[in-house]
């Protein structure tokens, strides 16, 4: 087990153990320093119930914080089921870090406001772990000038393998503080102006006779004069493509190998070392709640499911309805499980994982079924990819992606999303690139700068953050209510011979979720074990350890039976539990009475 060095709780006058304070939400984006201050303040204002530690120190030298939140109760914290909230893993979605910290702040406030309300029960019965900002290196780019959307962390990576690191990133050519999109009129270009939205671009469809006339790049120049534009910018590794499930080995930005980064390694160890984590909610670019995936594609070995296990599809569909009802979020960017944290935790650890983007920009057409998608980060990476292909002169190097699977491929990358006016509204009037502006490029000649601004499609306006956190907090409460709840019930004791007793017990799951979801059973998560607390020689019939691989939710039950030896009137304890399930006990009195109810 990894021992976390929880920072000492800050003593605040007038706050006693377990006493919570109402805290208001920040309603803003906080840079690294301010975010860490906010974590410290949250802990200080949470009495004895919150502790903070450093989960990992990143390649960029920043700290990814870890919070543990639970009020004292009869059950020790390490014996409780846990819920893990993860935010800020996708640094093109900086709001998700705010959401993660704000959600737990909101829950603590609610627990303070209503001492026997659902939030108070949540913190009393469970432990909540929060990793609010897994990729602090990447998120800091949101606050830097020029502002640039990137999913990569701060590791120095030689993307184009020329022996130099980060030597040719995008450049703010026009000095407006933002890395915009650059379009270059060029015969054979893949892109055309969207006839419906003149400010937006989309890929030309030659099969319909459309002619591509533009090449799309991120704003920049060929800093190292190698013939390739922006092919080796700042960073890095995408911490949400660095996980072992459907890992895209050898691709740019996925890391030297799986869980290669300090922050992903630390989170992997944390999840592995905390098997009582019964649900994970990931706030990030991926979604599996608003649009639960339906495919049944398997991995190369033909065993693991790329998306959901078939047995879990209906559960997710039901939770999806509930989520949309609670949060009002009905559009999503879908999820890409390849190397993603949410997919790993679900498929390889068997944990119910709910991933949401917490916000989506307004659709450009209300009836547009297709989700609005992504940011110019895609253009950055896409452009680098194209250039790399040229560098390597091996276009077949890249695996052919299944386009139908990949929203980034089917949707015109981050450009055909919303009109400029919608942008302005979504960002509270913040200045955004929108109109295409001519610019004299040092090597390309006359180009135009514009397109959708960085973060326009992935970061809600600050004023929206509080409401998002409050909505997501209700969903945490909802999920907590759905976790498995085990009890040992209906104990019967029958004397079947001198000193020999037949005991029957039923293990029942009153929670909504099964004790092991489909993915958990496939991943061979250990079973729930039920055993009489007796020396082996007193168990005459039945198994000394009864293994219950799964109990369905909503009342799933397993009837268990033993023959044991014992004296009339003796009390025998039966214990159920596992590394996953908190321990429960029931005492059965050995008595000739036909039916002895358990206590």
Partner 1 sequence: MKLVRSSLIVGVWAVLASNATIAQDNYQFASKTPIAWDRLNDYDQVVQICRDLVAGYPDLLKMESIGKSVQGRDMWALTLNVEKTGAAESKPAMYIDANVHGNEVQGTETVLYTIWYLTKSYGKVPQLTELMDRTAFYFVPMINPDGRAYWFAQANTPHSSRGGQKPTDNDGDGLFDEDPPNDLDGDGNITQMRRLDPLGRWRENPDDPRIMVRVEPGARGEFRRYELLGNEGIDDDGDGDVNEDGPGGYDTNRNWPADWQPGFIQYGAGDFPLSLPESASVANFILARPNIAAVQSYHNSGGMLLRGPGVKYVEYPPADVRVYDRIGERGARMLPDYRYLVIWKDLYGVHGGFVNWTYEDLGIISFTNELWTARKYFGTDERPDRDDLMAFNDDLLFGQSFVDWHAVKHPLYGDIEVGGWTKTSSRVPPPFHLEEECHRNFAFTMFHAEQMPLLEFQNVETTALGPNLWRVRVDVVNRRSIPTVTAQAQKRRFGPRDSISINGDGRVVAGGEIKDRFLGPFEAVEHQPQRLWVNEGIPGDGLRGFQWIVSGAGPLTIRYDSPRAANIETRVEFK
Alpha-helical runs (H) found in 63-129? 95-113, 118-125
Instruction: Check residue 585 for interaction with partner 1 (CB under 8 A).
Output: no
Secondary structure element (H or E) that encloses residue 326, with its range? helix 313-327
**Is 34 a residue that touches partner 1 (CB under 8 A)?**
no
Q: Which two tokens stand for residue 41?
A: 């303040």
Nearer to partner 1, 162 or 362 (CB): 162
- Under the binding rule (CB under 8 A), the answer on residue 272 touching partner 1 is yes
**Residue 318 vs 394, nearer CB to partner 1:** 394
Nearer to partner 1, 204 or 558 (CB): 558
Is 281 within 8 Å of 482 (Cβ atoms)? no
Are the C-beta atoms of residues 313 and 292 closer than 8 Å to each other? Answer: yes
Nearer to partner 1, 363 or 523 (CB): 523
- In whole angstroms, the minimum distance from the beta carbon of 250 to partner 1 comes to 4
The three-state secondary structure class of 509 is strand
- CB atoms under 10 Å from CB of 571, counted, come to 11
Of 524, 533, 568, 587, the one binding partner 1 (CB under 8 A) is: 524
Quick check: 163 binds partner 1 (CB under 8 A)?
Answer: yes
Q: What are phi and psi of 102, to 5 degrees?
A: -70, -35
Q: By C-beta, is 13 or 300 nearer to partner 1?
A: 300
DSSP-based three-state secondary structure for 466: helix
**Cα–Cα distance for residue pair 426/283, rounded to 1 Å:** 20
Q: Is the preceding omega at residue 146 within 30 degrees of 0, hence cis?
A: yes
Q: Is 535 a binder of partner 1 (CB under 8 A)? A: yes
User: Among 34, 145, 257, 318, which residue interacts with partner 1 (rule: CB under 8 A)?
Assistant: 257
User: Number of residues in contact with partner 1, rule: CB under 8 A?
Assistant: 45
> According to the binding rule CB under 8 A, does residue 2 interact with partner 1?
no
Q: Is 523 in the site for partner 1 (CB under 8 A)?
A: yes
Shortest Å, Cβ 93 to partner 1: 24
Binding part of the chain for partner 1, among 276-284, 316-324, 456-464, 529-537 by CB under 8 A, reads 529-537
Contacts of 116-120 with CB under 8 Å at 24 or more apart are 118/477, 118/480, 118/481, 119/473, 119/477, 120/71
Q: Does 196 bind partner 1 (CB under 8 A)?
A: no
Rounded-to-integer distance, Cα 455 and Cα 492, Å: 62
Residues 376-435 that bind partner 1 (CB under 8 A): 391-394, 397
Residues 414, 419, 421: CA angle, nearest 5 degrees: 135
Q: Does 158 bind partner 1 (CB under 8 A)?
A: yes
Judge contact between 504 and 561, C-beta under 8 A: yes
Site for partner 1 in 302-361 (CB under 8 A): 303-304, 348
- For position 579 contacting partner 1 by CB under 8 A, the verdict is yes
Nearest to 112 by CA among 47, 60, 166: 47
Residue from 138, 293, 339, 527 touching partner 1 (CB under 8 A): that is 527
545 binds partner 1 (CB under 8 A): yes
| Cis bond before residue 337 (omega within 30° of 0) | no
Cα gap 545→538, rounded to integer Å: 13
Contact segment (CB under 8 A) with partner 1 among 213-221, 232-240, 293-301, 485-493 equals 293-301
Helix, strand, coil shares, percent, the chain, to 5 = 25, 20, 55
Q: Which of 5, 16, 207, 225 binds partner 1 (CB under 8 A)?
A: 225
- Least distance (Å) between residue 462 CB and partner 1: 37
Residue ranges in contact with partner 1 by CB under 8 A: 158, 161-163, 222, 225-227, 244, 247, 249-250, 252, 256-259, 268, 272, 299-301, 303-304, 348, 391-394, 397, 522-524, 526-527, 529, 535-536, 543-545, 547, 577-579
């Amino acid at each position: 087990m990894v021992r976390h060095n929880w920072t000492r709780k800050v003593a605040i006058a007038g706050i006693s153990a377990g006493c919570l304070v109402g805290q208001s939400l920040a309603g803003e984006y906080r840079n690294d320093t301010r975010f860490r201050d906010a974590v410290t303040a949250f802990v200080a204002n949470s009495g004895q119930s919150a502790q903070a530690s450093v989960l990992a120190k990143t390649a960029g030298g920043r700290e990814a914080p870890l919070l543990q939140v639970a009020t004292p109760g009869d059950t020790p914290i390490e014996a409780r089921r846990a819920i893990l909230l993860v935010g800020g893993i996708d640094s093109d979605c900086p709001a998700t870090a705010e959401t993660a910290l704000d959600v737990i702040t909101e829950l603590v406030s609610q627990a303070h406001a209503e001492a026997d309300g659902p939030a108070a029960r949540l913190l009393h019965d469970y432990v909540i772990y929060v990793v609010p900002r897994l990729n602090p290196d990447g998120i800091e780019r949101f606050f830097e000038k020029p502002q640039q959307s990137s999913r990569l962390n701060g590791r120095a990576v030689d993307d184009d393998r020329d022996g130099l690191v980060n030597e040719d990133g995008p450049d703010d050519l026009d000095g407006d503080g933002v890395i915009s999109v650059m379009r270059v009129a060029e015969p054979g270009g893949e892109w055309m102006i969207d006839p419906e939205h003149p400010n937006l671009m989309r890929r030309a469809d030659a099969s319909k006779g459309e002619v591509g006339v533009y090449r799309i790049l991120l704003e920049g120049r060929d800093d190292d004069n190698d013939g390739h534009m922006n092919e080796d910018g700042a960073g890095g590794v995408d911490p949400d493509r660095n996980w072992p499930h459907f890992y895209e080995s050898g691709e740019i930005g996925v890391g030297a190998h799986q869980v290669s980064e300090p922050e992903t390694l630390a989170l992997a160890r944390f999840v592995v070392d905390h098997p009582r984590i019964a649900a994970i909610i990931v706030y990030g670019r991926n979604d599996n709640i608003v649009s639960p995936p339906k495919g049944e594609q398997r991995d190369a070995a033909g065993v693991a499911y790329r998306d959901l296990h078939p047995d879990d599809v209906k559960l997710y569909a039901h939770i999806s309805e509930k989520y949309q009802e609670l949060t009002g979020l009905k559009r999503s960017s879908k999820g890409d499980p390849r190397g993603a944290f949410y997919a790993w935790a679900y498929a390889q650890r068997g944990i119910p994982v709910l991933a949401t983007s917490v916000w989506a920009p307004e659709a450009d057409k209300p009836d547009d079924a297709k989700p609005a998608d992504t940011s110019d980060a895609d253009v950055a990476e896409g452009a680098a990819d194209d250039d790399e292909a040229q560098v390597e002169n091996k276009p077949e190097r890249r695996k052919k992606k299944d386009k139908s699977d990949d929203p980034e491929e089917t949707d015109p990358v981050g450009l055909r999303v919303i009109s400029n006016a919608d942008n302005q509204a979504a960002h509270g009037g913040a200045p955004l690139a929108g109109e295409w502006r001519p610019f004299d490029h040092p090597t390309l000649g006359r180009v135009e700068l514009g397109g959708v601004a960085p973060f326009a499609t992935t970061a809600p306006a600050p004023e929206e953050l509080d409401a998002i956190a409050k909505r997501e907090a209700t969903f945490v409460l909802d999920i907590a209510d759905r976790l498995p709840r085990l009890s040992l019930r209906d104990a019967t004791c029958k004397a079947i011979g001198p000193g020999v007793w037949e005991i029957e017990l039923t293990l029942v799951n009153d929670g909504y979720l099964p004790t092991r979801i489909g993915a958990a059973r496939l991943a061979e998560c250990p079973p729930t074990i039920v055993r009489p607390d007796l020396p082996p020689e007193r168990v005459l019939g039945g198994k000394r350890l009864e293994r219950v691989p799964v109990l369905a939710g909503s009342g799933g039950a397993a009837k268990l039976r033993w023959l044991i030896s014992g004296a009339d009137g003796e009390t025998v304890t039966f214990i159920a539990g596992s590394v996953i399930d908190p321990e429960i006990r029931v005492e059965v009195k050995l008595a000739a009475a036909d039916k002895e109810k358990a206590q």
